[in-house]
Chain A
Amino acid sequence: MAVTKTTASRKQATLDAETLRAMYRNMLRSRLLDERMWVLNRQGRAPFWISGIGHEAVQVAFAMNLRSGEDWAAPYYRDLALTLVLGMTPKDQLLSVLQRADDPNSGGRQMPAHYGCRRYNIITTGSPVGTQLLHACGIALAARMRGEDTVTFTSIGEGGTSGGDFHEALNFAATHKLAVLFVVENNGFAISVPWEKQMPTRDVADRAKAYGIPGVKVDGGDAIACYKAAREAVERARHGDGPTLIEAKVVRLTSHSSDDDQRRYRTAEVIEAEKAQDGLLRFRAQLEELGVLTAGDADEMRAELLLELDKAQEEAEAAPLPEPESALLHVLAEDLR
């Protein structure tokens, strides 16, 4: 039950080149889309964006270890990369940012980054932080009742761990040994409030001890370490050994949202220093060093992804907005009198 620290260097040899390249591609694909969302916001074409830049590695690592469409995800608002690996597309998320009728997350009803798509078992998510952790427990409980071996991913920021649902969910999942992966993407800031003012101890993973489950700390900028941690936790859950609390130490390389300016509460030096911890840059350097990816490969990948993105944006911008009266639909299965 001890808190374990996963390091990349010792375990990287067991990941094949194809997996590593796929992982990099998934991270880059999310990053490029995320950056495009900021551009659309700053151009005045999208009123809001809330970013996952800096969080990609751990999301990609978990999503690549899930069976898309069979396993379940109860994500939070920074999990853009997770949704893409599970099967949603850049166009899907652009439709949401541009509030189009065909947005599969919500038909333009919710703010962007409120993910959900039944086709991929990504449950609909709202704005309160923490509620989704209990939904993950219920999903896993239902799977247990039917004797299925599916696992459920759920995630939250470290700020969300201060609320009661975090405890209630860990308590319930651990009591019933449910197949839930609790992933805390700890970027050290809840909007503007630093972790020191959020919690008395630095590591959320330490709290696993109180529930008698493994607590794993992982460097969220170390893609290979994230992949290993994810694979281990998914295997445990799938084999009926219960939940794991995984804490990924990540960096938030943007302001909280497009309506926030982190320069009001963080120094320029700190913001600059965090850029060096960017998991995407570190992973690329690592892959080049390993000889898995050449600079040429990476550039080619980028060009190909940008092409996909441009096409997606074009299609999303051409898609219709919702009809005003459609606001009345889907309150209940049958319309009320």
Chain B
Amino acid sequence: MATKTYLEAIRDGIHEEMQRDERVFIMGEDVGAKGGVFGVTDGLQKEFGELRVMDSPLAESCIVGVAIGAAMNGMRPIAEIQFQDFIMPAVDQIVSEAAKIRYRSNNDWSCPMVIRAPFGGGVHGALYHSQSIEAMFCHVPGLRVVVPSTPHDAKGMIVAALRDPDPVLYFEHKRAYRAIKGEVPDGDYTVPLGSAAVVREGDDIAVFSYGMMVHTALEAAEKLAADGFSCEVVDLRSLRPLDREAIVRSASKCGKVLIVQEANLAVSVASEVAAIVAEDCFDSLDAPVMRLGGPEIPAMPYSPPLEHYYLVTPDKVERKLRDLAAY
């Protein structure tokens, strides 16, 4: 067991799985000699060659479309989209094709592939390098959508995604890449897709979150603990499917619920979690379900005051938790 960054853990998982399974290859912009714009694939081309770590043309539909074809012909591709913001040209391939291949062929064909993309803001990325648009894909049956928040899960989930028989969107919070460190087991292990994790136990308020916001929520929960309020923090980890049982368990236990995400709230992951709580935990609730997320503006602006205004900070979470505690 060693302490690693979130980024190193993703790379470890890809590296080990490429060693174990020669069907795994990676394709994306700048993934080769440069090792990706964030360095996730650093050193992989040197070890596995230019075919298995392939610099793609600057064309996202091509990256995903080619990966789909390779998946149908027995490979396990990783399609890297440089920023989640640039996934849009590939949406036809993801939603119209990858998501429907098993269903529309009545199980004759399948599309086992992983689409990786960094998301999230707070890195001076402005409108087109900061977005959190995962909810768009959570609406689509036939896709899995996962977001690890710790190095342990980052490795275990990329390996699980590569072994999954269906298309998995694996979103990485770019602020977590180097900011988040943690213990990562050596060798082969997986974290099952579709399962949430209780990362802090508590009785008063259940906080559901994912990605970098899990750490923000933990920071806020710590502050409330000093005043005697105990928060249970649940890392959703899998956004499609959501771990309904885990959500219901924690929400019912605490009776008060806050959902925290960086994305804006309308028709989002938070909306779906709130709906599950409303449907299944109505009798256990002691307060209205509350949500905290980004504002309803097109994307995160560049200038520091504007960017900071967008972000969900530990202070904002703390204020919301105190509102809920006082209810």
Contacts and interface: CB of A to CB of B under 8 A. Distances in A.
B142 interface: yes
A331 B142 contact: yes
Given A74-B69, A123-B72, A138-B68, A332 B62 contact: no
Contacts of A138: 65-73, 75, 77
B69 A135 contact: yes
B106 A106 contact: yes
A124 B68 contact: no
Nearest to B97: A131
Interface stretch (B88-96, B152-160, B213-221): B88-96
Interface string A121-149: 00110111001011111111111111000
Interface stretch (B107-115, B228-236, B285-293): B107-115
B304 interface: no
Interface in A145-190: 145-146, 164-165, 168-169, 171-172, 175
Nearest to B110: A333
Given A124-B108, A331-B142, A332-B102, A168 B70 contact: no
Given A124-B101, A131-B96, A164 B109 contact: no
B50 to A, nearest CB: 10
B109 A118 contact: yes
Contacts of B69: 74, 123, 134-142
Contacts, number: 145
By CB atoms of chain B within 10 A, which of A143, A164, A168 has the most? Answer: A168
A72 B164 CA distance: 24
A209 B102 CA distance: 37
Contacts of A114: 104
B144 A134 contact: no
B25 interface: yes
B324 interface: no
A110 interface: yes
Contacts of B92: 128, 131, 165
Contacts of A194: none
A87 interface: no
Contacts of B109: 116, 118, 123-124
Contacts of B96: 126-128, 131
A329 B107 contact: yes
A144 B69 CA distance: 13
Given A123-B109, A138-B71, A168 B57 contact: yes
A333 B103 contact: no
Contacts of B100: 126
B208 to A, nearest CB: 17
A269 B307 CA distance: 65
B91 to A, nearest CB: 11
Given A104-B108, A124-B104, A332-B144, A164 B89 contact: yes
B105 A116 contact: yes
B62 A134 contact: yes
A330 B107 CA distance: 6
B93 A134 contact: yes
Nearest to A116: B105
Contact of A145 (B51, B108, B166): B51
B59 interface: yes
B137 to A, nearest CB: 14
Nearest to A143: B73
Interface in B116-152: 141-142, 144
A213 to B, nearest CB: 15
Given A145-B25, A168-B59, A135 B141 contact: no
A330 B166 contact: no
Contact of B66 (A105, A124, A134, A329): A134
By CB atoms of chain B within 10 A, which of A72, A126, A134, A164 has the most? Answer: A134
A169 B106 CA distance: 27
A145 B49 CA distance: 11
B165 interface: yes
Interface string B56-90: 11010110111111111111010000000000010
A197 interface: no
A123 B96 CA distance: 15
Nearest to A136: B69
A268 interface: no
A47 interface: no
B244 interface: yes
A96 to B, nearest CB: 11
A276 B164 CA distance: 54
Contacts of A105: 105
B104 A126 contact: yes
Given A106-B105, A134-B62, A332 B72 contact: no
Contacts of A333: 102, 110, 164-166
27 contacts: A118-B108, A126-B104, A134-B61, A134-B66, A135-B69, A135-B72, A135-B97, A136-B69, A137-B62, A137-B66, A137-B69, A138-B65, A138-B66, A138-B68, A138-B71, A138-B73, A145-B51, A168-B57, A168-B61, A168-B62, A172-B57, A175-B57, A330-B102, A330-B106, A332-B144, A332-B166, A337-B241
Given A124-B109, A165-B92, A336-B194, 17 more contacts: A109-B104, A116-B108, A118-B105, A118-B109, A124-B104, A124-B105, A134-B65, A134-B66, A134-B69, A137-B66, A138-B75, A138-B77, A139-B72, A142-B73, A168-B57, A330-B102, A336-B241
The 6 closest A-B pairs by CB, nearest first: A138-B69, A134-B65, A107-B106, A135-B69, A124-B105, A142-B73
